[in-house]
Chains A and B, each alone.
Chain A
Amino acid sequence: MRTTIGLTAIAAAATLALTACGGSSASGNAPSNAPAGQGGDVTVTLTADGCQPSPASISSGAVNFKVSNKDAGAVSEAELLSGGQMLGEQENLTPGLDGGFSLELAKGDYQIYCPGAKQEKFDFHVTGDAAKSWKDNPTLVTATTDYGKWIVDQVNQLVTGTQAFADAVKAGDIDKAGVAYGQARVFYEKVEPVAEIWGDLDLNIDGRIDDFDNPADFKGFHKIEQAIFETKKLDGMGPVADELVKNVTSLQQLVAKAAYQPAEIANGATELVDEIQKTKVTGEEERYSHIDLVDFKANLDGSMEAFDVLLPALQKSAPDVAKTVQGRNAAVEAALKPYEQSPGYLNTGYVDYSTVTKDQQKVLSQAVNALGEAMSQVAAKVTQ
């Protein structure tokens, strides 16, 4: 999943979301963000020349397109397009037949498209109020503010933890550095999708050896992880630790000014679950230290924090989605439980992940997969 700093364009486009055409019975969902308005009927007659809609402009709301073909042999369908995307269609109208489709349409510029006609595209406009924005929903505005504050707090702790880690590395205290490593990383793993917004910052903080074209460029947390746990020598790690502190401090400055949209927060929550499945369950990320379960739990906590700030709004827009996510999260927590240990491997509270068998990893993965699938449904429910 790609992280974007601003989802304004996506959020605007999403307001085009439409209801099922033609009364398809399989879809019982109410339009998630239907614009208020009158709508009305629009007649589209297919001719050899084209498919001029009448009227060519209508107010937002439920719009019924009545399509007929009098005598156009080469034209048999009309589609409603928005930005090139088909929103609805009536196909297969040979001369003498009529049909139609219905949609909830928000304010905007559309086109009627009839392939095969002399002129294939005709403009169609919907007037009225602009679609609702999440900014009109105080619950969502609070959610974004709360999330921003939480991120700042986590990144502050990341900086403190990373400084302590760097101090241990520079003091040559390999045991202390090994423990401080996980204690710093937990904060990064909670906020990772946010860190990924800014260019190479994530690579420089959290990149793996395979992410660098030239292995000599390898840096960040995992470079020092390799030194502590694989080569077991901290020689030359001082400058690497200093640069790491510098990079997390940059992150601290960036998040202080950042703002988030609800859908972005929700997609970040899904991304964190994907992170668990791709790089934690597999043991990929912490290949030298095997503290993968720390990252696992941190990704999970970060994901659920994002979910929790959205929860008051989600409870109103899609309580069933909220309930499913909560149930699936509980299942992941339960699957993780057997691996808790006190004080645990390197004081992490968990066992060394290299002791978790492939079969056990599969069980973890299946629970995470179920959570991810549920979480992916949240973003669309918090757009307004």
Chain B
Amino acid sequence: MTSGVSRRALFSGLGALGIGGLVAADASASALTAENATQIVPFRADRQAGIVTPQQDRLTFAAFDVVTKDRGELVSLLKTWTTAAESMTKGDLVPGGEADLQAPPADTGEADGLKPGNLTVTVGFGPSLFDDRFGLTAKKPAALAPLPKLVPEQLDPAYTGGDLCVQACADDPQVTFHAVRNLARLGTGIVVLRWMQLGFGRTASTSSAQATPRNLMGFKDGTRNLRAEQTDLIDQNVWIGAETDQPWLRGGSYLVARRIRMFIENWDRDYLADQQNVFGRYKASGAPLGGAEEFDTPNLGSTDIPDDAHIRLASPEHNGGARLLRRGYSFTDGIDSTGNLLGGLFFIAFMKDPQQFVTVQKALAGDALNEYIQHIGSGLFACPPGVTDGQHWGQGMFT
């Protein structure tokens, strides 16, 4: 297979585009059906995809440590990653030479034939990248400070931190895994995987067109989440603007990841009224307590919603207006050493300033939900702006 060969023989309109530079440009245009078009999220844009993109169903998230001491190698990897990610988001193979029976294929192959699945690949830089290894100390945004100790957390170092992160989201789990696996492979010798998380189902909606999914506690999650269509609120809360001390980061966003374990067995034996009081919502309808419909504005002045209810403490009204664009996923990693289910919410949120998360999480110190959850992993990353033609991830940071 050549670098440009489409992995979707069935959707050959895009296949012709993938082969690249062929005489058949007109053929590709005519065959580009609406269905195919909706499977591809544009990679090149002012802002990175995978943030306000309508949230896909599946996730593979990886945090990497950089092991090279050579700044040039790191830059070169970010270029390679940009090219590979662009290709994969189109549903094409990882580029890299011709088929050769004596060489391992450039692409690992497991997404060959799958639809692009709205794959987005989003990259972020952790605080540790800005130490003295790569001459980036002067490029460190002041806001990118390690998160303070937050209740209820007991962080496992094996699931915390990282110099770089890659968030791959798509509607097909194999497409997301393929993306991270191939980026990791391209990075051998330069980066190593520090930790990795699969998410099997979205627990938020980032577009008004999407229905609200349920988390593993059985409650609708993200009813009051920011939506892509709320462009003013998104600008106020999600995209980094002129306020940053680092011009290269404008148009980017901070990503906070929290691996949140749910004590599932305990939760499952809590009585319904208490479950509803913990969240402040009715389990079946998702309506706020005292309300009738899911999207009714919670009446926080009412005693229907207990003082320690999750939706009260997490609300913008309770947090000086602080809001997050949540983009989390349910996860399970089987069972723990005691035989209990090990799973919960892999929380991801994007924001203009990590303090937004800190504010909300501090308010959640008294959350009734804390009896049933624990934060066991954490990451904070500055996601740079998008890449336009000819650019690569992090280019602004290295110039």
A residues contacting B by CB (< 8 A) are 10-11, 13-14, 16-27, 29, 31-32, 76-77, 85-94, 97-101, 263, 266-267, 324, 327-328, 331, 366, 369-371, 373-374, 376-377, 379-380, 383
B102 touches A380 (CB 8 A): yes
Cβ of A100 and Cβ of B22 under 8 Å apart?
yes
Chain B 1-18 residues near chain A, CB threshold 8 A: 1-6, 9, 12-13, 15-16
Q: Assess whether A77 is in contact with B3, with CB atoms less than 8 Å apart.
A: no
Which of these binds chain A: B91-99, B217-225, B226-234? B91-99
Point out which of A10, A20, A87 has the most chain B C-beta atoms below 10 A from its C-beta. A20
B189-A331 in contact (CB<8A):
yes
Q: A94-B31, A99-B22, A370-B189 are in contact. Are A22 and B4 (CB under 8 A)?
A: yes
- Whether the Cβ atoms of A21 and B19 lie closer than 8 Å is yes
* Docked-complex contact B22 and A90, CB < 8 angstroms: yes
8 cross-chain CB contacts under 8 A: A24-B20, A87-B99, A90-B22, A91-B6, A91-B12, A91-B16, A92-B16, A380-B102
- Chain A minimum-CB-distance residue to B31: A92
- Shortest 6 CB-CB contacts between residues of A and residues of B: A99-B24, A24-B4, A380-B103, A370-B189, A92-B12, A26-B95
- Complex-state Cα separation, A99 to B83, whole angstroms: 25
Residue of B nearest to A79 (CB): B9
Asked whether B23 lies within 8 Å of A18 as measured between CB atoms, the reply is no
Is B100 on the interface with A (CB-CB < 8 A)?
Answer: yes
* Assembly CA distance A24 to B18 (angstroms): 8
Closest A residue, CB atoms, query B67: A366
Extra contacts, 18 of them, besides A24-B4, A263-B102 (Cβ < 8 A), are: A14-B101, A19-B98, A20-B98, A21-B5, A22-B22, A24-B19, A27-B98, A90-B16, A90-B22, A92-B13, A92-B28, A94-B30, A98-B23, A99-B27, A370-B189, A371-B189, A376-B103, A383-B102
Q: Which of A18, A92, A100, A328 contacts B99 (CB 8 A)?
A: A18
Least Cβ distance of A178 to chain B in Å?
Answer: 36
A34 vs B57: C-alpha distance in the bound complex, in angstroms? 45
Contact (Cβ within 8 A) B188 A26: no
Q: Which residue of B lies closest to A23 (CB)?
A: B21
A98, B25: Cα distance in complex, Å: 9
Partner of B98, one of A23, A31, A331, A369: A31
Task: Chain B residues near A16: list those with CB within 8 A.
Answer: 101
Docked Cα-Cα span, A91 to B11, in Å, equals 9
Which chain A positions have C-beta within 8 A of B2?
Answer: 18-21, 24, 27, 88
Q: Which residue of A26, A32, A89, A91 is within 8 Å of B100 (Cβ)? A: A32
Is A94 in contact with B4, judged by CB distance below 8 angstroms?
A: no
- How many angstroms from the CA of A57 to the CA of B83 in the assembled complex? 38
- Out of B21, B26, B30, B99, name the residue touching A22 (CB < 8 Å): B21
Give complex CA distance A263, B103 in Å. 10
Q: Is the CB of B19 within 8 A of A14?
A: no
Chain A residues with Cβ below 8 Å from B67 are 366, 370
Chain B residue at smallest Cβ distance from A324 = B189
Q: Are the CB atoms of A93 and B30 closer together than 8 Å?
A: no
Q: Could you give, for residues 20-62 of chain B, a 1 whenever the CB lies within 8 Å of some chain A CB and a 0 otherwise?
A: 1111101110110000000000000000000000000000000
> Which of chain B's residues have a CB closer than 8 A to the CB of A328?
189
Chain A residues with CB under 8 Å of B99's CB are 17-18, 85, 87
The reply to whether A76 and B12 contact each other, CB–CB distance below 8 Å, is yes
Is B192 part of the binding interface, using a Cβ–Cβ cutoff of 8 Å? Answer: yes
Complex: A26 Cα to B102 Cα, angstroms: 21
Which B residues are CB-close (under 8 A) to A19? 2, 98
Q: Which residues of A contact B3 (CB under 8 A)?
A: 20, 24, 26-27
Assess whether B148 is interfacial by the CB under 8 Å rule: no
Residues of A within 8 A of B9 (CB): 91
Which B residues are in CB contact (< 8 Å) with A86? Answer: 1
A22 CA to B244 CA, complexed, in Å: 45
A contact residues around B24 at 8 Å (CB): 90, 92-93, 97-100
Q: Which residues of A contact B6 (CB under 8 A)?
A: 91
Bound-state CA distance A374–B104 (Å) is 11
Collect the chain A residues with CB atoms within 8 Å of residue B12's CB.
76-77, 91-92
B185 within 8 Å of A by Cβ? yes
Using known A-B contacts A24-B4, A92-B13, determine if residue A101 contacts B19 with beta carbons closer than 8 Å: yes
B87 at interface by CB-CB < 8 Å? yes
Question: Which residue, of B4, B15, B98, has the highest number of chain A Cβ atoms within 10 A?
Answer: B98
Which residues does chain A contribute within 8 Å of B4, judged by CB atoms? 20-22, 24, 26-27
CB distance from A95 to the nearest CB of B (A): 11
Q: Which residue on chain B has the smallest CB distance to residue A68?
A: B23
Contacts A19-B98, A27-B97, A99-B24; A373 near B188 (Cβ below 8 A): yes
Query: Pick the contact of A370 from B28, B83, B188 — CB < 8 Å?
Result: B188
Q: Is the Cβ of B189 less than 8 Å from the Cβ of A23? A: no
Q: Which residue of A lies closest to B95 (CB)?
A: A26
Which of chain B's residues has its CB closest to A33's CB?
Answer: B100
Beta-carbon contact of A93 and B27 below 8 Å? yes
Find out whether the CB atom of B21 lies under 8 angstroms from the CB atom of A92.
no
Most buried by B among A18, A31, A370, A383: A370
Tell me if B189 and A29 are in contact (CB < 8 A).
no
| Residues on B with beta carbons closer than 8 Å to the beta carbon of A383 | 102
Find the A residue at minimum CB distance from B189. Answer: A370
The interface residues of chain A lying within 8 Å CB-to-CB of B19 are 21-22, 24, 89-91, 101
Residue of B nearest to A99 (CB): B24
- Across the interface, which residues of B come within 8 angstroms of A90, CB to CB? 16, 19, 22, 24
List B contacts of A13 (CB < 8 A). 101
Q: Is the CB of A26 within 8 A of B103?
A: no
Cβ contacts under 8 Å, A18 to chain B: 2, 98-99
Q: Which residues of A contact B100 (CB under 8 A)?
A: 14, 17, 32, 380
B27 — which chain A residues lie within 8 A by C-beta? 92-94, 97, 99
CB-CB contacts of B92-136 with A at 8 A, as 1s and 0s?
000111111111100000000000000000000000000000000
- CB-CB under 8 A from B15, the residues of chain A are 91-92
Chain A residue at minimum C-beta to C-beta distance from B97: A29
Interface centre among A11, A89, A373 (most CB of B within 10 A): A89
Question: What's the nearest-Cβ distance from chain B to residue A49, in Å?
Answer: 21
Q: Are B98 and A17 in contact (CB under 8 A)?
A: yes
- Chain B residues within an 8 Å CB radius of A97: 24, 26-27, 30
Out of B1, B23, B26, B189, which one reaches A373, CB within 8 Å? B189
Q: Nearest A residue to B13 by beta-carbon distance?
A: A92
- Cβ of A26: which chain B residues have Cβ within 8 Å of it? 3-4, 20, 83, 87, 95
A85 to B13, CA, bound (A): 22
- Shortest C-beta distance, A359 to chain B (Å), equals 10
Nearest chain-B residue to A369 (Cβ)?
Answer: B188
Q: Which residue of B lies closest to A66 (CB)?
A: B23
Task: Provide the residues of chain A in CB contact with B22, threshold 8 Å.
Answer: 22, 90, 99-101
CB distance from A28 to the nearest CB of B (A): 9
Q: How far is the CB of B100 from chain A (nearest CB, A)?
A: 5
Chain A minimum-CB-distance residue to B6: A91
